[in-house]
Chain A
């Protein structure tokens, strides 16, 4: 697979304050990378360095093989982005905003604009002034202007802000489609982990300007993973007497650290002690759990 974006040891200092320390990340085509971190961790700064909006103190960004500082126009040509907020020209209509973007690239036809408008489901309001849009609609328009020229790299900074659950679901489907059908590499930053769960295939966790984890999403959930099984029974009151290692969760559930092939013996043991088992399932960690485990909560330094 082709590597679209590569950041190597990015550092950024403002005066004496070091904002980013050796941030490295990489996205291949078709990847959706969740760029996760608490507020103030350096997500937006990293994105600005990638897009050439701020000077890089040390390190290197290559997009499509072009260095962003040395060959800016070539590197940025196949990039679409929303940075911070979906800032649009409020006194123009949505369509006029898209037309402005289309003018800046070669070969974007009228039908391409219409197609993208349909894709982000703005066709009913596209001729209204952006000043009348809700934040969610502006996010959609922001995505539309970012994908108008069919970029290879799509960078979305907190794109779920202002979207309702229905909107989030739609955006998730849209991004998956872009990644799978158009082979776009997508970098999506967020502090809202629940939204990124089940939809990124990679994550990069950043805290205080440092990347503390980059990995496939399944791996993240399982790292330093001692697997627990959750067992549902009638009453957990006296379970400790039978199974010492049990951790009681509530009246009807307890969990236990156990290898998969030991599960049948556990069931037999329970049955022998006249305990009725209603169900057994593997404990699944959410991205959020993994995140808190890694970052130790949301602390801005």
Chain B
């Protein structure tokens, strides 16, 4: 048996096709890595230019602030011009831009309303102008904490006023709504505190993104938690997603590690299967779809069948060879990616752990990147093995390589379509269908399956059943076949 497998491997590795396909994959891989490297997000100033301001000023000239019809437009444009000037002044400093937008703009608006609006109040305008100047002074001093503290104060005040309101409310429904608002306000306050405690300067970097993501997802989680109706299955899945995103954001903030950094070896390895799964599959299907039929088409099968081995053994050795090649192809593509990715991004990020949220232990889990890739491969293995076996079976039964390869790849491509159909229309019977079960990724770390009532052990059993269903007729046909003239 081992000598048969050895012979099969010799035959595969002496052919050029496997090397050609691997070189194509390598070329694509280099291209993809370079693409990842160059899509690093640059937050350049995309705001106003001098000519924009001139245009706005020209428009302002045509308006009469004393005319009630023009008044609101006038105020709006005046505010726009002033904030645009500020933004142009600080265009190189990200955090200042965002502070201008969120914290200074309201004051400018208020000032202009009092200055040009119906109820003019010179004193108030003076006072607000002072405030604005004070804020701008803080901007010049680079004192972002000052603004953070103002935000925190506002959030605290908001929370306090809601709590006061709660004391005087009697109506049950209103009380319920109020409680929800209070919890939401608590999250707002928590986010502001987070900024100060974790020392996160305003801006557009990953920490700020994580901070806003944290706030958003925490509110989502809250919403699902407080839902009065029982959650639908899809909502449970969304709840899991939100919980995971929230906890990972928390991890990013507290550890100051950008786990989503795209231009790193770690990231491309984490997405190894998303990017290269299809290539691995194509090579595997190519091998599985030709390993038997080619011998029939070239007539060399007769050489094999007059050797002292039963047909079952010969076929089994070819199937096992296909499995060995699956492992080989995955290993080679992975090693190529490590090398190409390492050269493109550097190998430093390999020491960083991959961060996942474990729903069973309800905690963040840090995993070595190679262990993570290993787990990822294991979850995709049922699909690759089954599609490889399918190609193998068709190639044996119909002795037609093209048919075998085409049908297997169509099977892969229809997976998404069938699964979407099953989930959207809630077709319960499809949860026993192979495409719903051969990808174990959803179950990882305690995650929920594609549909209600699905579980990892069940999926594995279904995959094994399908494997047997494909294998039995293949071996039977091979055993009974008359070797026709060629």
Using a CB–CB distance below 8 Å, which chain A residues touch chain B?
Answer: 14, 44, 48, 51-55, 72-74, 76-77, 79, 81, 83-85, 87-92, 96, 99-101, 103-105, 145
Contacts and interface: CB of A to CB of B under 8 A. Distances in A.
B151 to A, nearest CB: 71
A104 B313 CA distance: 12
B306 A55 contact: no
A155 to B, nearest CB: 9
A128 to B, nearest CB: 14
A87 B485 CA distance: 12
Main DSSP-derived SS at the B contact region: loop
Given A72-B310, A103-B3, A87 B482 contact: no
B307 A96 contact: no
B225 interface: no
Nearest to B298: A87
B14 A73 contact: no
A92 B15 CA distance: 8
B6 A103 contact: yes
B310 A87 contact: no
B302 A105 contact: no
B483 A54 contact: yes
16 contacts: A48-B483, A51-B306, A53-B302, A72-B310, A73-B309, A73-B310, A76-B307, A83-B306, A84-B299, A87-B300, A89-B298, A89-B300, A100-B10, A101-B303, A105-B307, A105-B308
B486 interface: yes
Given A48-B483, A52-B306, A81-B306, 10 more contacts: A51-B306, A73-B309, A76-B307, A85-B299, A87-B300, A92-B11, A100-B11, A103-B3, A104-B3, A104-B307
Given A84-B299, A88-B300, A92-B14, A53 B305 contact: yes
A96 B10 contact: yes
Contacts of B306: 51-53, 76, 79, 81, 83
A85 B482 CA distance: 17
Interface of B: 3-4, 6-7, 10-11, 14-16, 298-300, 302-303, 305-310, 480, 482-483, 485-486
A53 B483 contact: yes
Contacts of A84: 299, 302, 485-486
Nearest to A12: B482
B311 to A, nearest CB: 8
A202 to B, nearest CB: 23
B459 to A, nearest CB: 39
Contact of A54 (B3, B10, B299, B482): B482
Contacts of A14: 482
Residue of B15, B302, B303, B480 ringed by the most chain A CB atoms within 10 A:
B303
Nearest to B17: A91
A101 B309 CA distance: 12
B73 to A, nearest CB: 79
B312 to A, nearest CB: 11
Contacts of A53: 302, 305-306, 482-483
Contacts of A52: 305-306
A91 B14 contact: yes
B11 A89 contact: yes
Given A48-B483, A54-B482, A54-B483, A87 B302 contact: yes
Contacts of B14: 89, 91-92, 96
Contacts, number: 76
Nearest to A146: B306
A76 B7 CA distance: 19
Contact of B485 (A44, A96, A105): A44
Given A91-B15, A96-B10, A100-B7, A83 B302 contact: yes
Contacts of A48: 482-483
A48 to B, nearest CB: 6
Interface centre among A14, A55, A92, A104 (most CB of B within 10 A): A104
Nearest to A157: B302
Contacts of B7: 100, 103-104
A77 B308 CA distance: 5
B308 A76 contact: yes
Nearest 5 A/B pairs, CB to CB = A87-B299, A53-B483, A77-B308, A54-B482, A73-B308
B483 A145 contact: no
B318 to A, nearest CB: 14
Contacts of B300: 87-89
Contacts of A77: 308
A135 B303 CA distance: 17
Contacts of A76: 306-308
A247 B249 CA distance: 113
A104 B303 CA distance: 11
A110 to B, nearest CB: 16
Nearest to A49: B482
Contacts of A79: 306
A55 B305 CA distance: 13
A220 B309 CA distance: 39
B482 A55 contact: yes
Q: Which of A44, A72, A96, A145 has the most CB of B within 10 A?
A: A72
A138 to B, nearest CB: 11
Contact of B309 (A44, A90, A104): A104
Contacts of B485: 44, 84
Given A72-B310, A90-B298, A55 B480 contact: yes
Contacts of B480: 55
Nearest to A100: B7
A147 to B, nearest CB: 13
Contacts of A85: 299, 486
A211 B300 CA distance: 29
A120 B483 CA distance: 28
B65 to A, nearest CB: 87
Nearest to A76: B308
A105 B480 CA distance: 25
A98 B128 CA distance: 96
B15 to A, nearest CB: 6
Contacts of A96: 10, 14
A166 to B, nearest CB: 27
B382 to A, nearest CB: 32
Contacts of B16: 91
Nearest to B3: A103
Contacts of A90: 298
B365 to A, nearest CB: 48
Contacts of A89: 11, 14, 298, 300
A267 B485 CA distance: 58
A55 B483 CA distance: 9
Contacts of B482: 14, 48, 53-55
Nearest to A51: B306
Contacts of A44: 485
Nearest to B313: A73
A90 B303 CA distance: 13
A100 B7 CA distance: 6
A100 B305 CA distance: 13
Nearest to B2: A103
A105 B3 CA distance: 9
A96 B309 CA distance: 20
